[in-house]
Amino acid sequence: MRCPYCQSQETQVKDSRPAEDGAAIRRRRVCPDCGGRFTTFERVQLRELTVIKKSGRRVPFSRDKLARSIEIALRKRNVDPDRVDRAVSGIVRQLESSGETEIPSDDIGQLVMEALKLLDDVAYVRFASVYRNFREAKDFHELLGELKAEEDAD
Confidence category of residue 83, pLDDT binned at 50, 70, 90: very high
pTM of the model: 0.67
Please state whether beta strands 50-52 and 102-104 pair in parallel, antiparallel, or not at all (unpaired). parallel
pLDDT score at 44: 63
pLDDT score at 145: 83
Confidence category of residue 96, pLDDT binned at 50, 70, 90: confident
Rounded to a whole number of angstroms, the CA Rg of the chain reads 20
Average pLDDT (55-60) is 95
Asked whether residue 57 carries a pLDDT value surpassing 80, the answer given is: yes
pLDDT score at 150: 80
Looking at the chain, the whole-number percentage of residues with pLDDT higher than 70 is 94
CB atoms within 10 A of CB 118: 11
| Least confident among 32-46, 61-75, 109-123 | 32-46
pLDDT score at 47: 67
More confident residue, 116 or 48: 116
pLDDT score at 46: 58
The model's pLDDT over 8-25, given as tens digits with 9 standing for 90+, comes to: 988 999 988 887 766 678
Please state whether beta strands 12-18 and 37-43 pair in parallel, antiparallel, or not at all (unpaired). unpaired
Confidence category of residue 151, pLDDT binned at 50, 70, 90: confident
Rounded distance between C-alpha atoms, residue 141 and residue 154, angstroms: 20
Which three-class secondary structure state does DSSP give residue 10?
coil
